[in-house]
Amino acid sequence: MSDLFHVSAAPHIRRPITTRNIMRDVTIALIPASLFGIFNFGLRALLVILVTIIACVATEYFYCKGMKKKVTTGDYSAVVTGLLLALNLPASLPLWMAVVGGVFAILIVKMLYGGLGQNFMNPALTARVFLHISFLARMANFTVEKISSPNVNDYLKNGAIAVDGVTGATPLAALKAGETVDLFKMFIGNTGGTIGETSALALLLGAGYLLCKKVISLRIPFTYILTLVIFVVIFGGQGFDIEFILGHILGGGLLLGAFFMATDYVTCPVSAKGQIVYGIFLGIMTGIFRVVGNGVEGVSYAILIGNMVMPLIDSATYPRPFGKERVQSEK
């Protein structure tokens, strides 16, 4: 044993929480949504999830090695990005597109900007939008075919297999078109959509876990959803229609976005006031995209624009140091 003592600066004690623990908690919180996605869309969803995660982790690993930096995959942030991205993809997406998305998220959005903590937009969401712009047809295709005896080739090809075929537009598109939607089905998740966004129940379970573990706070999701509801009531054209409102809350990527993407530490404001302003901003932007725009992908674009505006919100809402409140405002 060494004869020397450790001599370092105070403080000499540390809380047991680590970055890895936080990432692990987020992964656990996403498991209900992932499991439901696999149940709803079939084993191909599992394939997409695994392929995306592997693509993300591999990209980070090889980038670190190639740039001769310390390998950072051990903090599990790439796993979280991969999982989040996968949950934002349709189960029938060609696997090579999922890989492209994963590589884009990690290489372009995260590593080239400086790695963990330095990305200015949410990597998973940016990759989703990138794929959406590049491969609109496949990204907007939520059809899941029914094949009675699938073989390996069926899984790997473009088609998707599930026990019960699910066809048609997503509930949000239907809502926009003025049709009625089955709210219960939307809550449980037996509808079309990307792998992770259909089941409100599964997402809320995961969100509840994160709130209990104090990984996220209710500020951003609550103000986001509340602002959207108010916007939809005023401008949605249906007035105070409970079914319409619930349809908006449960539909699209709102719950996934509000609880898991908008709360990403790196891209959201740090102060309590800033987070509330951010939530309101996101609610208004999503409202504009959904009501005035063509309806879908509103959450994704709103959050990305929010990410870019975030530094402004942050610097405007930093708390004043204790005891200096009046002095500061006199300046």
Partner 1 sequence: MGKSTFPGGIHTYDGKELTMDKPTTVLLPKGDLVFPMSQHIGAPAKPLVAKGDKVLVGQKIGDASAFISSNIISSVSGTVKAIEKRLTVSGNMLESIVIENDNEYQKVDGFGKEQDYKKLTKEEIRNLVKEAGIVGLGGAGFPTHVKLTPKDESKIDYVIVNAAECEPYLTSDYRMMIEEPDKIIGGLNIILRLFENAKGIIAVEDNKPEAIKKLKELTANETKIEVQELATKYPQGGERQLVYSTTGRKLNSKKLPADVGCIVDNVDTVIAIYMAVAKSTPLIRKIITVSGSAVKNPQNFNVAIGIDYSEILEAAGGFTDRPEKIISGGPMMGNAMYSCNVPVTKVSSALLGFLKDEAAVEESPCIRCGRCGLECPLQLMPFQLAAFSERSDEESFEKMGGLECCNCGCCSYTCPAKRNLTQSIVQTKNSILAKKRKA
Chain positions contacting partner 1, by CB under 8 A: 1, 4-15, 17-19, 21-22, 72, 75, 77, 115-118, 265-266, 270-271, 318-325, 327
Which residues, in sequence order, are bridge partners of residue 166?
144
Give the nearer residue to partner 1 in terms of CB position, either 239 or 311.
311
Give the nearer residue to partner 1 in terms of CB position, either 35 or 266.
266
Give the nearer residue to partner 1 in terms of CB position, either 26 or 93.
26
Q: How far is the CB of 213 from partner 1 (least distance, A)?
A: 12
Give the nearer residue to partner 1 in terms of CB position, either 115 or 236.
115
**Tokens 């869309």 identify what position?**
41
**Helix, coil or strand: residue 267:** helix
Of 281, 203, 236, residue with least CA distance to 31: 203
**Helix, coil or strand: residue 166:** strand
Of 63, 55, 65, 50, residue with least CA distance to 115: 63
Q: How far is the CB of 271 from partner 1 (least distance, A)?
A: 7
Q: How far is the CB of 318 from partner 1 (least distance, A)?
A: 6
Q: How far is the CB of 36 from partner 1 (least distance, A)?
A: 28
Q: How far is the CB of 259 from partner 1 (least distance, A)?
A: 16
Find the length of the chain.
Answer: 331
DSSP symbols for 92-149: TS-HHHHHHHHHIIIIIIIGGGTSTTT-SS-HHHHHHHHHHHHSHHHHT---BB--SS
* Residue 215, CB-side half-sphere exposure with 13 Å CA sphere: 23
User: What φ, ψ does residue 144 adopt, rounded to 5°?
Assistant: -120, 115
Give the nearer residue to partner 1 in terms of CB position, either 117 or 237.
117
How far apart are alpha carbons 197 and 204 in whole angstroms?
Answer: 11
Give the nearer residue to partner 1 in terms of CB position, either 234 or 272.
272
Give the nearer residue to partner 1 in terms of CB position, either 9 or 242.
9
How far apart are alpha carbons 59 and 296 in whole angstroms?
Answer: 30
Q: How far is the CB of 268 from partner 1 (least distance, A)?
A: 8
Cis geometry, peptide bond prior to residue 11 (ω within 30 degrees of 0): yes
Give the nearer residue to partner 1 in terms of CB position, either 73 or 194.
73
The 3-state DSSP composition of the chain as helix, strand, coil percent (nearest 5) reads 65, 0, 35
Q: How far is the CB of 14 from partner 1 (least distance, A)?
A: 5
Q: How far is the CB of 298 from partner 1 (least distance, A)?
A: 25
